[in-house]
């Protein structure tokens, strides 16, 4: 807005210059549309624009005095506190300027509040205090802040921060179980340390889970066995996922119920993420993530074939009685062993050159069915798309 104003003022000044001959003593006054208190004077002889002053209540000029907000300390580290504990600290704001310093409470983060602002106006040379209160919560590391606004033109706001460590009531050395891809044929074991920095002892009395067959066991340790936890009590939790879980993604939250020697039971949530791969998988450029084999568009009288790598994941990876069929019937599928002792096979699908003009892109779609003859692998059906 000021840039546009000055451009207009420059044009007006040019016109003013043309009129100097009429009155060498003329004075031109202008008002800014968003700052009506500003008084801009254009000198009739030099054409210079001068801001003469503002009304009282605007930002003070140097002659009127300027407040200066100084906070020598803006961060407080409370050290280490128990969880769910209230804390309080006072910060000091000095006014080292030459005009009254006005203060206003601004925003705070969720676990920090400004409980007291001793003075909302501070005379030059004086100071006031800002009192912050907080609840430590349950997280190991605490860091929250509060803001105080000022009328200091050089420091419009001051952010005060409170930081520190919070003792663990009860928790785990790692907050989740992220296992990636697990072997579908074998059990998966994982360990975590369950500990407290307050209790002298505790019992894990239950784990709730949606994962079928999940098992657990617990073993007491000495706190000295895990010095990095600074624990007063620690136990090793061993979790077992059984083999044979259905293929797909596992997203579970294990809910641990822990009872201290004295006091009420507490609950700890342990997220579980894992992927159980299919017992049989197909790899190749012609197949997508949804298991669709695309032969593409083929000219009449031409043939096309694709080859996929087949991987069987099982303690017994061989498929001696496998049978593969396809629809429509003119498609020619074959399954050949590549390294059967490692569960590796080669699947070839051919569209012959005598295939009729047709399309199997949506309705209907082609399909390939692999009857593995394996009790745990079962049968697999893949979709096939093409057009002749």
pLDDT at 58 over 50: no
Question: What pLDDT, on a 0 to 100 scale, did the predictor assign at position 272?
Answer: 96
What 3 state SS string does the chain have?
A: CHHHHHHHHHHHHHHHHHCCCCCCCCCEEEEECCEEEEEEEECCCCCCEEECCCCECECCCCCCCCCCEECCCCEEEEEEECCCCEEEEEEEEEECCCCCEEEEEEEECCCEEEEEECCCEECCCCEEEEEEEEECCCCCEEEEEEEEEEEECCEEEEEEEEEEEECCCCEECCCCEEEEECCCCCCEEEEEEEEECCCCCEEEEEEECCCCCCEEEEEEECHHHCHHHCCCEEEEEEEEECCCCCCEEEEEEEEEEEEECCCCCEEEEEEEEEEECCCEEEECCCECCCCEEEEEECCCCCCEEEEEEEEECCCCCCCCCCEEEEECCCCEEEEEEEEHHHCEEEEEEEECCCCCCCEEECCCEEEEEEECCCCCCCEEEEEEEEEC
Q: Is the model more confident about 12 or about 239? A: 239
- pLDDT band with cut points at 50, 70 and 90 for residue 326: very high
Q: pLDDT, tens digit, for every residue of 215-240?
A: 999 999 999 999 999 999 999 999 99
Average pLDDT over residues 364-375: 93
Average pLDDT over residues 18-37: 46
Question: What pLDDT, on a 0 to 100 scale, did the predictor assign at position 120?
Answer: 93
Question: What pLDDT, on a 0 to 100 scale, did the predictor assign at position 33?
Answer: 55
pLDDT at 14 over 80: no
Q: Which residues contact residue 22 at a Cβ distance below 8 angstroms, ignoring those fewer than 6 apart?
A: none
Q: Which residues contact residue 62 at a Cβ distance below 8 angstroms, ignoring those fewer than 6 apart?
A: none
Question: What pLDDT, on a 0 to 100 scale, did the predictor assign at position 336?
Answer: 94
Average pLDDT over residues 239-261: 93
- pLDDT band with cut points at 50, 70 and 90 for residue 31: low
Of 11-20, 216-225, 228-237, 359-368, the range with the lowest mean pLDDT is 11-20
Average pLDDT over residues 164-169: 92
Average pLDDT over residues 125-135: 93
Rounded to two decimals, what is the model's pTM? 0.60
Q: Contact 325/334 with Cβ under 8 angstroms?
A: no
Q: Hey, CA dihedral for 372, 374, 377, 378, is it positive or negative?
A: positive
Average pLDDT over residues 126-144: 89
Question: What pLDDT, on a 0 to 100 scale, did the predictor assign at position 252?
Answer: 96
Of 37-51, 273-287, 321-335, the range with the lowest mean pLDDT is 37-51
Q: Is the model more confident about 22 or about 254? A: 254
Per DSSP bridges, beta strands 266-276 and 177-181 are: parallel
Cα separation, 256 vs 244, in Å, equals: 24
Q: pLDDT, tens digit, for every residue of 175-215?
A: 899 999 998 888 999 999 999 999 999 999 999 999 999 99
Q: Contact 235/221 with Cβ under 8 angstroms?
A: yes
pLDDT at 51 over 60: no
Kindly report the number of other CB atoms within 10 A of residue 316's CB atom.
Answer: 12
Q: Which residues contact residue 224 at a Cβ distance below 8 angstroms, ignoring those fewer than 6 apart?
A: none
Question: What pLDDT, on a 0 to 100 scale, did the predictor assign at position 9?
Answer: 46
List phi, psi (to 5°) of 206. -165, 150
Burial of 197 by CB count in 10 Å (0-12 exposed, 13-18 middle, 19+ buried)? Answer: buried
Kindly report the number of other CB atoms within 10 A of residue 192's CB atom.
Answer: 20
Average pLDDT, the chain: 85
Spell out the domains of the chain, with CATH numbers in brackets.
2-51 (no CATH), 69-166 (2.60.40.10), 171-276 (2.60.40.10), 280-387 (2.60.40.10)
What percentage of the chain exceeds 90 in pLDDT? 67
- CA atoms lying within 13 Å on the CB side of residue 48: 4
Question: What pLDDT, on a 0 to 100 scale, did the predictor assign at position 19?
Answer: 43
- pLDDT band with cut points at 50, 70 and 90 for residue 16: very low
pLDDT at 13 over 70: no
Of 25-29, 68-72, 224-228, 305-309, the range with the lowest mean pLDDT is 25-29
Q: Which residues contact residue 110 at a Cβ distance below 8 angstroms, ignoring those fewer than 6 apart?
A: 144
pLDDT at 362 over 70: yes
Q: pLDDT, tens digit, for every residue of 291-302?
A: 999 999 999 999
């Amino acid at each position: 807005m000021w840039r546009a104003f000055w451009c207009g003022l420059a044009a007006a000044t040019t016109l003013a210059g043309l009129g100097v001959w009429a009155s060498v003593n003329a004075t031109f006054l202008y008002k800014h549309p968003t700052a009506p208190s500003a008084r801009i004077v254009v000198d009739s002889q030099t054409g210079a624009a001068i801001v003469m002053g503002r009304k009282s209540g605007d930002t003070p000029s140097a002659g009127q005095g300027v407040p200066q907000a100084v906070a020598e300390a803006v961060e407080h580290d409370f050290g280490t506190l128990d969880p769910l504990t209230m804390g309080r600290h006072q910060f000091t704001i000095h006014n080292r300027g030459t005009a009254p310093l006005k203060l206003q409470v601004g925003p705070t983060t969720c676990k920090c509040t400004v409980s007291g602002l001793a003075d909302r106006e501070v005379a030059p040379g004086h100071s006031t205090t800002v009192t912050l209160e907080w609840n430590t919560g349950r997280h190991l590391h605490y860091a929250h802040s509060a803001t105080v606004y000022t009328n200091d033109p050089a420091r419009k706001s001051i952010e005060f921060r409170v930081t520190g460590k919070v003792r663990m009531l009860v928790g785990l050395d790692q907050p989740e179980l992220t296992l990636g891809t697990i072997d579908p044929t074998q059990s998966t074991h994982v360990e975590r340390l369950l500990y407290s920095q307050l209790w002298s002892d505790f019992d894990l009395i239950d784990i709730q889970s949606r994962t079928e067959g999940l098992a657990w066991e617990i073993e007491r340790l000495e706190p000295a066995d895990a010095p990095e936890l600074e624990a007063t009590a620690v136990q090793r939790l061993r979790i077992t996922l059984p083999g044979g879980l259905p293929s797909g993604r596992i997203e579970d939250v294990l809910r641990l119920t822990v009872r201290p020697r004295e006091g009420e039971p507490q609950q700890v949530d342990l997220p579980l993420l894992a992927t159980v791969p299919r017992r049989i998988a197909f790899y190749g450029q012609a197949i997508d993530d949804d298991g669709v084999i695309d032969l593409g568009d083929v000219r009449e009288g031409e043939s096309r074939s694709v080859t996929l790598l087949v991987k069987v994941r099982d303690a017994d990876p061989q498929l001696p009685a496998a049978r593969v069929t396809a629809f429509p019937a003119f498609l020619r599928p074959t399954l050949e062993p590549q390294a059967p002792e490692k569960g590796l096979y080669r699947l070839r699908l051919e569209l012959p050159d005598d295939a009729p003009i047709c399309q199997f892109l949506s309705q209907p779609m082609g399909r390939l069915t692999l009857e593995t003859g394996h009790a745990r692998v079962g049968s697999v059906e893949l979709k096939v798309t093409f057009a002749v």
